[in-house]
Amino acid sequence: MPTEQLINELQSFGVRLVDPRASAVGRRGGAGPSDHTPFTIDGATVMVPVHNAPAFELSLMVDKPDALGNSRISRDGVELGKVSFPLRPRFYDLTTADGIPYSKLATLHGRDVLATTVLQSCIRYQSRTKTCQFCAIGQSLAAGRTIERKTPAQLAEVAKAAVELDGVKHMVMTTGTPPGSDRGAAILVESTLAVKAAVDLPVQVQCEPPDDDIWFQRMKEAGVDSLGMHLEAVTPQVRRRIMPGKAQVSVERYFSAFAAAVPVFGRGQVSTYILAGLGDSSADILAICERLVGIGVYPFVVPFVPIAGTPLESHPTPPPAFMHGILQPLATMLRSAGLNSRDIKAGCGKCGACSALSTYERRTNA
């Protein structure tokens, strides 16, 4: 089976770990990939669901890894490939001078990405009628796995350690949306300034479009390398149903923000995260991708994976064939436009672990 299709299958169905302790860096809840564990298969590091309910009903199995983290994946006893698990990052064992474990401030994503949610609360998370139905930003906070506000100094300290001890190559700073018209841009600017003063590390920041496009320039001047503004769903009806609060920011506002941000950060350095499987058709998703690619925005399309405890915890993941029907033409579209995940300086599109898209790109460009 081609690697990209195996990745689609893994991300749609998840795996069962023979030894659940195999994952040193898997985790539950939070923003970004949750109830996932990273492993590397055929050179591609992917986030694969393991902890949530669907993972226990399937036939893809990963054996107990050896001391170096090497294992194999099989179905019905037939080996499909070799996999390896990342070792526990060394920076996880450190604490700040005021006693906060570094692992509560930032986590390792994929193979070499340091990821943090600078503000672990959100104006959109306060009520069930406004919250994004897929989001678990409050869960890891409630469970004590993180703290609500990471200060610039704390982030700088962790980033420096993660580079020096674990060879982290880029950093993602996302945020819940605070009250106020900047939509989190201000705390991302101050956080980036602190990280960049401490260590040479490419940074992607992620937020909703701020009300004033001047923030893109301020981000750039602070040292931000790449920007993510995430549509999540693409049609107004699906956006209203899945993310009633965030849908108040229209798709057209996202496009005007993209148009303002691309000249600041460069073609391919502005991206958006699109969750496939929430109700948008593949034609809807590909149509919006065509618009995005046309203005130099990298559309990072990932399969939706339900997170336990969220309103969508029982929503199915998209079938592998649905992902294949999007990612294959999208890889061709990206190639024609001269956009490539490899050229992104930092962030989710560069990491690629939440989707098979970069594996499709590699095959398309081979």
User: In the complex with ligand SF4, which residue's Cβ is closer, 8 or 218?
Assistant: 8
Whole-number minimum distance, CB 354 to ligand SF4, in Å? 3
Shorter beta-carbon distance to ligand SF4: residue 134 or 218 = 134
In whole angstroms, the minimum distance from the beta carbon of 306 to ligand SF4 comes to 16
**Minimum distance of ligand SF4 from residue 351's CB (angstroms):** 3
DSSP reduced 3-state for 232? strand
Q: Which is nearer to ligand SF4, 32 or 277 (CB)?
A: 32
Residues near ligand SF4, by CB under 6 A:
32-33, 47, 109-110, 113, 115, 172, 348, 351, 353-354
Nearer to ligand SF4, 202 or 260 (CB): 202
Smallest distance, ligand SF4 to C-beta of residue 214, A: 27
- One-letter amino acid at 102 equals Y
Nearest CB to ligand SF4, comparing residues 170 and 324: 170
Q: How far apart are CA 88 and CA 238, in angstroms?
A: 38
Nearer to ligand SF4, 218 or 277 (CB): 277
Nearest Cα to 30, choosing from 9, 13, 47?
47
Min CB(228)–ligand SF4 separation in Å: 9
Nearest distance in Å: CB 102, ligand SF4: 17
Nearest CB to ligand SF4, comparing residues 162 and 218: 162
State the Cα–Cα distance between residues 294 and 336, nearest whole angstrom: 10
User: In a 3-state reduction of DSSP, which class is residue 347?
Assistant: coil
Q: Phi then psi for 87, rounded to 5 degrees?
A: -75, 160
Query: How many Å apart are CA 52 and CA 313, to the nearest integer?
Result: 9
| CB 113, min distance to ligand SF4, A | 4
Could you give the CA distance from residue 187 to residue 119 in angstroms, rounded to a whole number?
A: 8
Residue 4 to residue 209: CA distance in whole angstroms: 32
Whether residue 96 contacts residue 105, with contact meaning beta carbons closer than 8 Å, is answered with yes
Pull the structure tokens for residue 332.
Answer: 């061709």
Output 114 or 249, the one with its CB closest to ligand SF4: 114
Of 59, 45, 77, the residue nearest 12 (C-alpha): 59
For residue 114, which of 348, 358, 361 has the smallest C-alpha distance? 348
Residues, the chain: 366
140 vs 77, 79, 208, 276, 343, CA distance in Å? 36, 35, 21, 24, 32
Residue 139 CB, nearest distance to ligand SF4 (Å)?
16
Dmax of the chain from CA atoms?
57
